[in-house]
Amino acid sequence: MTTASTEKKGRGRLREEFANPERRMAYYMVLPALIIILVVAFFPILYSIILSLTQSTIQGIGPFAGVDNYVTMFQNADFMSGLWNTVIFTVVSVFFEFVIGLAIALAINRAFRGRGLVRAAVLVPWAFPTVISAVMWRLMFQDQVGIINYVANALGIISKPILSDETLLLIGSIGVDVWKTTPFMALLLLAGLQTIPGDVYEAAKVDGANVMQRFFSITLPLLKPAILVAVLFRTLDAYRVYDLFWALSDRQLESLSTFVYKGVRVSQLQFAQGNAAAVFIFFTAFAIAIFFIKVLGMQTSSEE
């Protein structure tokens, strides 16, 4: 009964929408935009999905293959190392970026002399193109001229050159990413901090709350929307890591995105697998975003 009535109501609503010439006109007018979005955004995704389900080559679509490409992809050692590297990289780098970024944001949120200068200076690493900073750091990790390799070697921390060891390269990549994108995190969090009104803290102080209580009961909960946005942005960004790995490790370190590139652009045989990996990235990234919105309660618009 209820469903029928809502359906009727819905249909009536629909009729009302389209009976009104003004409104109908409005729909006609957004139609071209919708079609363009469908063509440029959804068609490529759909096409990738189709390619990933067939035995396609660079020459074109092949016979239907079901999930074969996905099965072989998960059996491919290169893909698994890419997945593993990407996950570790994403979790560890975003964690450190968040912690350090929050500390920086709290520090520069106070009023002090030269605050504007400090804020601008903090952003410098972020302003570098990733490839440039990756090449710069690669030189510092290099064994003939690199200072980091030299110091680490002199202190006895490393037994082989940094650039020849994948674990060290991954640690290096995480370090460079933290160096580079912590400012971005700090900036987003700082914007969030500035929306918290000062009188809330004053009231808490009057009630006798100490620094830790104020931080955990006021700052963090009120900062949650900004934190979720910043962490989601960084997570998705880190998850798609490509340029940093390739420039810093000179194509040694595999990530999900580099696997896609190799499959689709370099290999003559792994085209379908590369597409499967691209689809895999798309859906897992989508799942991460859904997780943030649904489970962690991120607000996607300012309306309640």
Partner 1 sequence: MTRRRTDGAGTLGRRRISRRQFLKIGGAGLAGTALLGAAGCGGGGEGGGSGDLVFAMGADSTGTIQPLIDRFNEQADFRVNYREMPTDTGQFFDQLRTEFQAGGGEIDVIGGDVIWPAQFAANGWILDVSDRFPEEDRQAFLEAPVQSLIYEDAIYGVPWYTDAGMLYYRQDLLEESGISEPPTTWAELKEMAPQVAQENNMNNGFIFQGANYEGGTCNGLEYIWTHGGDVLDGDQIVIDSPESVAGLETERSMVADGVAPQAVATYKETETDPAFLGNRMVFARNWPYMYSLAGSDDYPDIKPDQIGVAALPTGEGGPTHSALGGWNLLINAQTQKADQAWEFVQWLSEPEQQKFRSLEGSLLPTLKSLYEDQEILDAVPVIRLGSEALQTSKPRPVSPYYSDMSLKLAEQFNNALKGDVSPQQAVKTLQEELTNIIEQGG
Binding site for partner 1 (CB under 8 A): 21-22, 25, 28-29, 32, 36, 58-59, 142-144, 160-161, 163-165, 250-252, 262, 265-270
d(CA 280, CA 52): 10
| Residue nearer to partner 1 on the CB measure, 58 or 124 | 58
Closest approach of Cβ 304 to partner 1, in Å? 33
d(CA 102, CA 81): 31
Closest approach of Cβ 170 to partner 1, in Å? 15
| Residue nearer to partner 1 on the CB measure, 38 or 121 | 38
Are 219 and 193 within 8 A, CB to CB? yes
Closest approach of Cβ 2 to partner 1, in Å? 38
| Residue nearer to partner 1 on the CB measure, 22 or 303 | 22
What is the DSSP secondary-structure string of the chain?
Answer: -HHHHHHHHHHHHHHHHHHSHHHHHHHHHHHHHHHHHIIIIIHHHHHHHHHHTBT-BTTB--SB-TTHHHHHHHH-HHHHHHHHHHHHHHHHHHHHHHHHHHHHHHHHTS--TTHHHHHHHHTHHHHS-HHHHHHHHHHHH-TTT-HHHHHHHHTT--SS-GGG-HHHHHHHHHHHHHHHHHHHHHHHHHHHHTTS-HHHHHHHHHTT--HHHHIIIIIHHHHHHHHHHHHHHHHHHHHT--HHHHHHHTT-S--HHHHHHIIIII-SS-HHHHHHHHHHHHHHHHHHHHIIIIIS---SSS--
Closest approach of Cβ 88 to partner 1, in Å? 19
| Residue nearer to partner 1 on the CB measure, 161 or 225 | 161
Closest approach of Cβ 32 to partner 1, in Å? 6
| Residue nearer to partner 1 on the CB measure, 35 or 127 | 35
| Residue nearer to partner 1 on the CB measure, 7 or 250 | 250
| Residue nearer to partner 1 on the CB measure, 123 or 269 | 269
Closest approach of Cβ 264 to partner 1, in Å? 10
| Residue nearer to partner 1 on the CB measure, 114 or 156 | 156
Closest approach of Cβ 147 to partner 1, in Å? 15
Closest approach of Cβ 202 to partner 1, in Å? 52
d(CA 168, CA 218): 39
